[in-house]
């Protein structure tokens, strides 16, 4: 089994097929979208492929260590993940092909008008254990 991150983007990826921003959806459309995501997670829990999924708020701050004292905090001018990342799903599957299959299914979540969002999802494998080199 290998873990993959299915990353949902606000922007930065190619435009989705149903490119109406979520803040313009009706409450019913948002409810349908969230239910689809919950049902997706429940089904993957049953197959043992689900790890977690989370939606993110648009708030965020950059912080770094800068020696002693208060760390610097800024709201830019970076290409910030709060502007890019909408949320994620982590799966644990048998193959890369299965990860792609599930990402495509997740991309079909309903959006405006009840039509599939057809959003692009970034599929990224988790870094696995480092291989030990032996002679």
Residue 135, in any domain of the structure: no
Q: Would residue 47 count as lying in a domain?
A: yes
Query: Percent of the chain at pLDDT above 90?
Result: 50
Higher pLDDT, 112 or 72: 112
Q: Summarize pLDDT for 11-63 with one digit per residue, the tens.
A: 666 778 888 888 899 999 999 999 999 999 999 999 999 999 998 877 777 67
What CATH number does the domain containing 32 carry?
3.30.70.1060
Strand partners for 4: 91, 125
User: What pLDDT does 17 receive?
Assistant: 82
How confident is the model at residue 100, as a pLDDT? 95
Give the count of domains, the chain.
1
Q: Is residue 131 part of a domain?
A: no
Write down the pTM of the prediction: 0.77
CB-neighbour burial class of residue 8 (10 A; exposed 0-12, middle 13-18, buried 19+): buried
Percentage of the chain lying above the pLDDT 70 cut: 82
Residue 10, domain member (yes or no): yes
Question: Coil, strand or helix: which one is 48?
Answer: coil
2-9 vs 50-55, strand pairing mode = unpaired
Domain of residue 28: give its range.
Answer: 2-125
Q: Is residue 11, in this structure, part of any structural domain at all?
A: yes
Residue 48: Cβ-neighbour burial (10 angstroms; 0-12, 13-18, 19+): exposed
Domain contains 118: yes
Site of tokens 């790890």: 51
């Amino acid at each position: 089994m290998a873990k993959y991150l299915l990353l949902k983007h606000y922007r930065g990826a190619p435009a989705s097929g149903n490119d109406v921003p979520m803040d313009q959806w009706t409450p019913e459309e948002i409810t349908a979208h969230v239910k689809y995501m919950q049902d997706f997670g429940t089904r993957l829990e049953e197959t043992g492929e689900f790890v977690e999924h989370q939606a993110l708020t648009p708030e965020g701050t950059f912080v770094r260590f800068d020696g002693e004292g208060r760390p610097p905090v800024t709201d830019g001018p970076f290409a910030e993940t709060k502007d890019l990342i909408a949320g994620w799903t982590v799966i644990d599957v048998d193959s890369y092909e299965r990860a792609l299959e599930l990402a495509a299914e997740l991309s079909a979540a309903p959006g405006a008008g009840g039509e599939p969002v057809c959003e692009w999802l970034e599929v990224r494998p988790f870094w696995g254990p480092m291989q030990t080199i032996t002679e």
